[in-house]
Amino acid sequence: MMQTRITKLFNIQYPIVQAGMIWTSGWKLAAAAAKAGALGLIGAGSMHPDNLRHHIQSAKQALAGTKGVFGVNVPLLYPQISEIMGIIMDEGVRVVFTSAGSPAAWTKPLQAAGCKVVHVTASTKFACKARDAGCDAVVAEGFEAGGHNGREETTTLVLIPLVVEAVGEDIPVIAAGGIGTGSQMAAALALGAEGVQVGSRFAATQEASCHPAFKTRIVAAQEGDTVLALKKTVPVRLLRNEFQQAVLAAEARGANNEELNTLLGKGRAKRGMFEGDLIEGELEIGQVAAAIHDIPTADTVVHRLMTDCQATLMRLVKWTV
Amino acid sequence: MMQTRITKLFNIQYPIVQAGMIWTSGWKLAAAAAKAGALGLIGAGSMHPDNLRHHIQSAKQALAGTKGVFGVNVPLLYPQISEIMGIIMDEGVRVVFTSAGSPAAWTKPLQAAGCKVVHVTASTKFACKARDAGCDAVVAEGFEAGGHNGREETTTLVLIPLVVEAVGEDIPVIAAGGIGTGSQMAAALALGAEGVQVGSRFAATQEASCHPAFKTRIVAAQEGDTVLALKKTVPVRLLRNEFQQAVLAAEARGANNEELNTLLGKGRAKRGMFEGDLIEGELEIGQVAAAIHDIPTADTVVHRLMTDCQATLMRLVKWTV
């Protein structure tokens, strides 16, 4: 048993959130993580509205009769945001994680429809804004996290205590970025987080919807293979390949935003993560990929996290006497 | 009591190392940290050889009759490295931390003279080289650390478990970067470190030899105020001021190494940290400065770290049952 305000908020068994990742977190991953006792999240960021409805309905069906809880992660800058939110409320989704935008507009309407609402932030300033908007919890995501991120580069180890100090009395904090093992989960709890959001580790699972070649590439990733790039436009942590190297070279020569946007083009993320183009595609993953060595089931990931976290806590007990 | 291989290696009371920082870690800080039960380090990187001898002798005098243990941190790229090492061995210093260079040349000679030798690294690859060179322990320093750092940008949360997995059976690992509070120390222990090296928190103490204006600036530092700059030449984490902004602007327009070196010039670090020029000087500090709010004694820092670390571990105990 590991009860926190986060397990109580979502009525889940373990304080683990499987992150909503584009091209990766479909209903199969969310349902598998939820059945294992974590909160499973469908990543709406790469889904057309009709497709999102299909994923929500499939997750509901897969979890019918179980205690599994799932939610949806929604980037707020999404152009069809009203339609997306309409579907979420219409389908009776109980948990929504919002990111990439202001939590002011959607938090109250979602809560009125019965949702718990969590906002993803990369700084204390935005964590306070999320609290002030009435969010039920906040995710504080460090520099080492995969995918889109803040410009301030504050790491999880530094960020979590600052956010906990600022908002922790009001709402619980979920740590994200650099958490793929039980010892990293224990470290996040030591910092005052009451839950962890785990992305990269769930991307390399059987149930993730990303391309098998991308999963194999995650397993092969080494220390130093990811870089937070495109800080001038949309900061994103990219895995080393020809596309990443082209972006870094453009930045090193001082390319302007227009050049960078042209280089990025359209459909790069789908091409990389969903279609498996490891050379020219955009591959979003966290630094912790360097510690990922296999492609197990989501259930195995959840149980490893809990077992190793417990073992870590037991190891620390000797220093409390 | 918190015994680890690190406390045993140095015969110190607490698994805390006060980092050797240029223009900041003179004999007064090292002796104060050592008297408080930590390992105190004199930072030789900003000292002429004669001055280093004076600091070593003063530390020995201050610690005579106490159980305090001090050492010296030496950047190996120092031009007068043979003279420096000669003084260290001549004065009977028992602990040497080496950084910024290969540990192959000096580890064995220092050990033959009775020194424990620890090398500072920012990657698993170099941690293995330090182990292979025969070092007694290794410091693994994350991206969030102040001052000079690696290019790979791996954060402490990600780096420590990788280094522990690679070398932990052979030698103990000291975590550095982002550690200024007891909860961060507990997190480092959860990750498998057996000691922590603390820099920024000790820079803002009464006994640090840096300029009082710099200490006040550390206290005023906010989240996002530091940036790892000069990655093309000598990567270093700098605190926001006009000099830092000029460096970032030069990098954004793609300045070459010669331009960057000209901008850096000579004596920037002394000007900033020792002479207190907060505008045009180089100010080296870690991200954790955002969590530093006062300028206590080194003794207070050590006791706060231990008290808060213990309290954090006690808080985690409830989840072990």
pLDDT tens track for A242-276: 999 999 999 999 999 999 999 998 899 999 999 99
Residue B1 has pLDDT above 90, yes or no: no
Torsion of CA B118, B124, B125, B131, to 10 degrees: 30
Q: What are the φ/ψ torsions at residue B159 (nearest 5 degrees)?
A: -70, -45
ipTM, 2 dp: 0.97
Find the closest chain A residue to B126 by CA distance. Answer: A223
Residues of A in contact with B177 (CB under 8 A): 155, 157
Instruction: Point out the residue among A179, A224, A319 whose CB comes nearest to the CB of B154.
Output: A224
Closest chain A C-alpha to B228 CA, distance in angstroms: 9
Instruction: Point out the residue among B165, B288, B312 whose CB comes nearest to the CB of A158.
Output: B288
Instruction: Point out the residue among A177, A181, A223 whose CB comes nearest to the CB of B124.
Output: A223
Residue A165 has pLDDT above 80, yes or no: yes
Find the closest chain A residue to B186 by CA distance. Answer: A190
Closest chain B C-alpha to A91 CA, distance in angstroms: 35
Residue A48 lies in a domain: yes
> Does B115 share its domain with B246?
no
> Does B115 share its domain with B248?
no
Q: Chain B interface, mutation test: which of A128, A143, A157, most B Cβ atoms within 10 Å?
A: A157
SS3 A14: coil
Q: What is the separation of C-alpha B312 from the centre of its chain, rounded to a whole number of angstroms?
A: 23
Q: Which structural domain, as residue segments, surrounds residue A37? A: 5-209
* Rounded distance between C-alpha atoms, residue A88 and residue A60, angstroms: 12
Q: Which of B61, B58, B55, B90 is nearest to B73 (CA)?
A: B55
Residue B321 has pLDDT above 90, yes or no: no
Q: pLDDT per residue over B156-189, tens digit each?
A: 999 999 999 999 999 999 999 999 999 999 999 9
Q: What is the DSSP string of B68-79?
A: -EEEEEEETT-T
> Does B133 share its domain with B218?
no
User: What is the mean pLDDT of the segment spanning B27-42?
Assistant: 98
Residue A244 lies in a domain: no
* pLDDT computed for residue A321 by the predictor: 72
> Does B251 share its domain with B111?
no
Domain count, chain A: 1
Cβ atoms of B119 and B98 within 8 Å: the answer is: yes
Are A186 and B320 a contacting pair at CB < 8 A?
no
Instruction: Point out the residue among A1, A190, A254 whose CB comes nearest to the CB of B316.
Output: A190
Q: What are the φ/ψ torsions at residue A8 (nearest 5 degrees)?
A: -70, -40
> Does B151 share its domain with B241?
no
Confidence band for A79, pLDDT divided at 50, 70 and 90: confident
Find the closest chain B residue to A288 by CA distance. Answer: B158
* pLDDT computed for residue B78 by the predictor: 84
* Rounded distance between C-alpha atoms, residue B137 and residue B15, angstroms: 13
Closest chain A C-alpha to B73 CA, distance in angstroms: 25
> Does B154 share its domain with B240?
no
Instruction: Point out the residue among B161, B232, B319 whose CB comes nearest to the CB of A313.
Output: B319
> Does B129 share its domain with B240?
no
Confidence band for A78, pLDDT divided at 50, 70 and 90: confident
Q: pLDDT per residue over A183-239, tens digit each?
A: 999 999 999 999 999 999 999 999 999 999 999 999 999 999 999 999 989 999 999
What tokens appear for A69 in the block? 């809880």
Residue A84 lies in a domain: yes
User: What is the mean pLDDT of the segment spanning B60-64?
Assistant: 98
| CATH code (residue B42) | 3.20.20.70
* Rounded distance between C-alpha atoms, residue A60 and residue B1, angstroms: 51
The mean pLDDT value of chain A amounts to: 97
Residue A278 lies in a domain: no
Q: In sequence order, which residues have a C-beta less than 8 Å from that of residue B50 and are 6 or more positions away?
A: none
> Does B203 share its domain with B151?
yes
Q: Chain B interface, mutation test: which of A4, A124, A125, A155, most B Cβ atoms within 10 Å?
A: A155
pTM, entire model? 0.97
Residue A235 lies in a domain: no
